[in-house]
Structure 1
Amino acid sequence: MEDLILPQTVRYRVQQRIKSGDSMALKKQRIRSSFNLGGEQAEADSLLEEAFFETGDYEMIESRTESKCFVIGRTGAGKSAALSRIEDLHPEHVIRINPEDLSLPYITNLQAIRWLDSLEVNLDQFWIALWKHVILVEVIRHRYKVDSPVAKSNMLANLRDWIRNDRTKAAALEYLDEFEGRFWCEADERVKEITDTFSQKVSAEAGVKFGVPAIDLTAGTSGELGRSTATRAELVDRFQRLVNETQLARLNKMMEILNDHVLDSEQHFTYLIIDDLDRDWVDERVANDLIRCLFSTVVSLKRVTRLRILVALRTNIFQELDFGKRGAAQEEKFRALVLPLRWTRTSLERLLDERVKAATSGEEEGPKTVRALLPHANKTRGNPLDYILDRTLLRPRDAISFVNLCLRESVDKRAVSWEAIQAAEPGYSEGRLLALRDEWKLTYPGIDQVLNKLRGCSSAMSVPEFVAVLEDIALLTAEADFPGTQWLTTATAGVWAAAEGEAWHVTYGPLLKVLYSLGIVGIAADGSKAPKFHLDDPALIDRRSRMDTCKSVYVHRMLHSALDVRRPQERRGQAPEDY
């Protein structure tokens, strides 16, 4: 009871209630060790269903008429949570395709596929046909509950009866007949069958036309044939035509059947969800092509009016997609269909409030908002919720993680104190540093070593101070064991070839842009003391007029503790200023 400051009469009554065993009221007001605001990941979040907060972005995702279909966001932004919410609310209308279940690693490891890839044959038409087949069959299976040969026969008979007078559509149905005995099987079996058939065609063609044994369809074989430019050109031309002769024509007709006869009413409206494309589900060598061709497939299937396909993808993977193969117009089309997930301070506070309510739903007493859990604001320390959100990248995962750690430091207390927040911050900051590394290590190998160059720096650096840090980072390219030499060499090319008199942000621009886009540093331009980060102004770093007035570069507060960042006044023995 030492932590309670109560009037003497009230303290006496409390003591009497405790002596009589009636301490329930106090117990309800104390933070239990099991009390938290849910898990940081959708699949491990016990409060997701009960405390889901519907933002405007989610309303667009759930809408049956919204055209945007690519849900893009950084790790922890809520992509998977939003798609899981749709599954919870519309279980009879949702199909989920897991990339890991499609045997795509099996496909990319086939000798024939590797051989064609080594010849630089464009496999886009094959990948698009494969995606279309998977999606079309999954939708038909879901609509007609096709799980046996009898169910398949009945479904085909019904479709034929509806379109008997349309010869082109009837011909499209023959496509399904080609998978007799396999239609109701799992997707990975059907994918393997399609690919094996294609591989056999490639092997046969290579043997008949060019005398290449099937067993020799390896990268080494293409290298031998590549010695003859004419032979190689003939190979590429022939197999490019073979790839282009896939079943796309009949698949496109199947889309008409899907729209006119399968999903023929609103009661059959279907969401098709594709998530987890950021996991190690396929050889990185072809992942870009597979995802890009998936995007093309989704765009073409938008003509099916009662089918809403939603593809979730991490921001860094989307940025790496090479749309150039499809032309600028195609890239523009894709980007017009992107829904970037963004959160504001207000929406994050409301999300935390919903979770507090859900976590205390069985208790009459206790806090019902996140502010009620936290200490009061004061002039010395400021607002505790602002303090927490200032140390996030405005993502649900960050905010939930920080508050949960604060609660862990407050077990058996009536509320979270400022001391608990400060005790929780080092662990939270270390966790975010590791999460940042894991999020970007495929795009920027060695990013953890780059971040380590900021260790012990000032939270607000002058331009010369920051340039010195950037030069230290550039020197990593000379270290034999640094895994990110390729990307860092590109990002620091201007450092080694700097022209005299060139503005600092031009010379160091590519490297600065990496740190800025990841949210690691912010810029104070136009004489302002308050820095702007990527969340505030994604395009700031590209505007020379603003960068010319840059006076200071700031490290994000989220990383201060983990990187031992010093505040400017600490060097002069003064009280630190919380930028």
Structure 2
Amino acid sequence: MVDAGIKITRNLKVGALDAETDSSLLDKCFVDKGDLDELLDVSNPAAVVLGRTGSGKSALIHKIETSADHCSRLDPNDISVRFLEHSDIIKFFDALDIKLDLFYKLLWRHLLVVEILKLRYDIRNEQDGKRFTDGIFSWLRRDKAKKKAIEYFNEWGDKFWLDTDEHLREITSKLENDTKASIGAKYSGVSLSIDGVEKLSEQERTEIRQRASQVVNGLQIKKLNEVLELLALYSFDDNQKKFYIVIDQLDENWANTSTRCRFIRALIEEIKSFRKIETVKIIAALRKDLLDLVYDQTRDSGFQEEKYEAYMLELKWSTEELTKLVELRINEVFRVQYTKEVVSLDHIFPKPKKGGGQTAIGFILERTLRRPRDVLQFVNEAFNIASERERVSWRALISAEANYSEKRLKSLKEEWGEMYPSFEDTVEILRGLPSTFSRSAINQDRLNDVFIALSEAHNNDPCVKMVHSYFEAKSVKDTDVLYAILQCLYRVGAIGVKVSSLDTFLWAHIDQSSVSKGEVKRSSHLKIHKMLYRALDIETEDKSMFVT
């Protein structure tokens, strides 16, 4: 029997909403869904952890770091990619319309090679670096076939101890010097910058473009191919020792959108390349919507998305797994404060509603996108309302829903701000609608209000672009704008769609992540997600939700 004196104390929480702050509870209350074993298995290609914000990507990365004997973290914020964006030589190549995809791959490969060598040989300073290179040179000289690898270590051997930021600057400086050498004395007076390109004639641009392209295509990526093979034979041949490099925070604003997409695509390519070293695994965490954006912005001829599927591990949570997560955390926070006995959901939450039979945890989960962060946020709100009481009542749960719903709407705006910067205006088309509605429920007045709000914005939001085309009479109908808005609302998880009367509702967080214009057009009914009922004043027939 659990102590009768337990109480929901002021500021009691079942966890913070970010993995960094939540590390203590995360370690004690980790729900093993099998994802950790897949990622730690170096023979398993799954290496890109995919999920929406709050789905547990960073928590899983943290668990890998604490579980593996040899693991290092690379933070994109430490790589100073913004330095590249402001670099004259990079602007020079952009002005000449020369693709730098190979250069970005080279950067990642070099940074990753350096990082795994630091991890393997405990290289922390210049002396450690010299000790390593002396050892590898003595072995390399016996094999003349490794000429390119020798060249690479000759060039970089004394720099392995440098920070990633310094490495990036060294490689960029080399690109600039190689370019100067390539264009030769004839163009020695040309400034390798945007200004320099603007002063060139078309014929001069063409010639310099050809020469500069040869520099990019001739980068030492071939040397690094041999280096990977060499490392597999010489440094990472012990199957009992596994090495991991983890990369998180790729979702953050560490570079502009275009550069970030190119860099992430290059990283995914390099994760594939490092499969050559059987005891090494590069693992990255990435938002699903950001991956879609990467594919859209870097898609070239011959691109096949299915070639990357084996490397993706998408995080999905079942009702049972989320329930277990909440139970483990509730038991842990009450164990620390009150009792060593097990405290379950039944001890803290109200009994099922009369008549309907819905459980409290069922009520909570229906108002989430089935992600740990959503569930923990709702439980924390409920604890806040029920502060100083022995348990959460239905009244407290309903009150908590109002606060939670407002925060969920705000979180959606933040989560999708890069792709849909005007989402705050777009979502207003749902305000006050019935929970389930047809397109005809969106009358012209409602449509016009949203159109006007979107027309005042000037950004890359697809809905804004469509509205501008509509007002500029570019063969865009008001229904076309409506379809774009509904596609946006589906993608962010605000609505579900029923494509035909015989189908069930589709949801982005459960079924397919996006719907086509044709699917929206055929939709017989649409349904607003329960997480937004209170924030958007949605009409509902469920009067039982106001029970006391």
Same fold by TM-score, threshold 0.5 exceeded?
Answer: yes
Residues 368 and 82 (structure 1 numbering): CA distance in 2 closer, same or farther, change over 3 Å? same
The reply on whether 1:76 has 2:54 as its aligned counterpart is yes
Q: 2:347 aligns with which of 369, 372, 379?
A: 372
- The alpha carbon displacement at 1:534 in A equals 2.0
Q: Aligned Cα RMSD in Å? A: 2.9
Per-residue Cα deviation, 1:305-324 (whole angstroms, up to 9, x for no partner):
11111111112211111465
Give the match for residue 351 of structure 1. 325
Give SS of 1:394's match.
Answer: coil
Q: 1:239 aligns with which of 207, 212, 220?
A: 212
- The alpha carbon displacement at 1:192 in A equals 1.2
Give the match for residue 114 of structure 1. 91
Residues 96 and 272 of structure 1 are in contact (CA less than 8 Å); yes or no, is this contact kept in structure 2? yes
Give the match for residue 518 of structure 1. 492
The reply on whether 1:321 has 2:272 as its aligned counterpart is no
Per-residue Cα deviation, 1:420-464 (whole angstroms, up to 9, x for no partner):
111111211111111111111111111111112322222222220
- The alpha carbon displacement at 1:255 in A equals 0.1
Residues 498 and 507 of structure 1 are in contact (CA less than 8 Å); yes or no, is this contact kept in structure 2? no
Counterparts of 2:488 and 2:520, CA distance in 1: 18
Give the match for residue 184 of structure 1. 161
Runs of 5+ unmatched residues, structure 1: 1-23
Give SS of 1:453's match.
Answer: helix
Give SS of 2:206's match.
Answer: helix
Give SS of 1:68's match.
Answer: coil
- The alpha carbon displacement at 1:333 in A equals 1.6
Matching of residues 25-36 of structure 1 within 5 Å: 25-27=3-5, 29-36=6-13
Counterparts of 1:223 and 1:379, CA distance in 2: 75
Give SS of 1:288's match.
Answer: helix
Matching of residues 334-349 of structure 1 within 5 Å: 334-349=308-323
Counterparts of 1:116 and 1:543, CA distance in 2: 37
Q: 1:263 aligns with which of 236, 244, 249?
A: 236
The reply on whether 1:415 has 2:391 as its aligned counterpart is yes
Matching of residues 268-417 of structure 1 within 5 Å: 268-322=241-295, 325-362=299-336, 363-364=338-339, 368-380=343-355, 382-417=358-393
Q: Percent identity?
A: 27
Residues 486 and 375 (structure 1 numbering): CA distance in 2 closer, same or farther, change over 3 Å? closer
Give SS of 1:532's match.
Answer: coil
Residues 183 and 211 of structure 2 are in contact (CA less than 8 Å); yes or no, is this contact kept in structure 1? no
Counterparts of 2:46 and 2:332, CA distance in 1: 31
- The alpha carbon displacement at 1:477 in A equals 4.2
Residues 75 and 249 of structure 2 are in contact (CA less than 8 Å); yes or no, is this contact kept in structure 1? yes
The reply on whether 1:153 has 2:141 as its aligned counterpart is no
Residues 203 and 213 of structure 1 are in contact (CA less than 8 Å); yes or no, is this contact kept in structure 2? no
Give the match for residue 10 of structure 1. none
Give SS of 2:370's match.
Answer: coil
TM-score normalized by the length of structure 1: 0.85
TM-score normalized by the length of structure 2: 0.90
Counterparts of 1:235 and 1:371, CA distance in 2: 73
Residues 392 and 398 of structure 1 are in contact (CA less than 8 Å); yes or no, is this contact kept in structure 2? yes
Give SS of 1:41's match.
Answer: coil
Residues 425 and 454 of structure 2 are in contact (CA less than 8 Å); yes or no, is this contact kept in structure 1? no
Give SS of 1:293's match.
Answer: helix
Q: 1:220 aligns with which of 178, 195, 201?
A: 195
Amino acid at match of 1:123: L
Give the match for residue 455 of structure 1. 431
Residues 483 and 520 of structure 2 are in contact (CA less than 8 Å); yes or no, is this contact kept in structure 1? no
Give the match for residue 20 of structure 2. 43
Amino acid at match of 1:223: E
- The alpha carbon displacement at 1:50 in A equals 0.8
Counterparts of 1:491 and 1:69, CA distance in 2: 40
Q: 2:413 aligns with which of 434, 437, 453?
A: 437
Per-residue Cα deviation, 1:210-243 (whole angstroms, up to 9, x for no partner):
24443xx332332332xx3322222211111111
Residues 209 and 431 (structure 1 numbering): CA distance in 2 closer, same or farther, change over 3 Å? farther
Counterparts of 1:543 and 1:81, CA distance in 2: 36
Residues 160 and 170 of structure 1 are in contact (CA less than 8 Å); yes or no, is this contact kept in structure 2? no
Counterparts of 2:240 and 2:316, CA distance in 1: 32
Counterparts of 1:528 and 1:407, CA distance in 2: 41
Which one has the largest radius of gyration? 1
Q: 2:74 aligns with which of 80, 86, 97?
A: 97
Residues 477 and 485 of structure 1 are in contact (CA less than 8 Å); yes or no, is this contact kept in structure 2? no
- The alpha carbon displacement at 1:253 in A equals 0.6
Count of matched residue pairs? 539
Deviating more after overlay: 357-366 vs 59-68: 357-366
Give the match for residue 14 of structure 1. none
Give the match for residue 137 of structure 1. 114
Residues 507 and 513 of structure 2 are in contact (CA less than 8 Å); yes or no, is this contact kept in structure 1? no
Counterparts of 2:186 and 2:159, CA distance in 1: 31
Residues 317 and 371 of structure 2 are in contact (CA less than 8 Å); yes or no, is this contact kept in structure 1? yes
Residues 271 and 307 of structure 1 are in contact (CA less than 8 Å); yes or no, is this contact kept in structure 2? yes
Amino acid at match of 1:318: L
Per-residue Cα deviation, 1:340-368 (whole angstroms, up to 9, x for no partner):
11112111111112212222334436663
Amino acid at match of 2:312: V
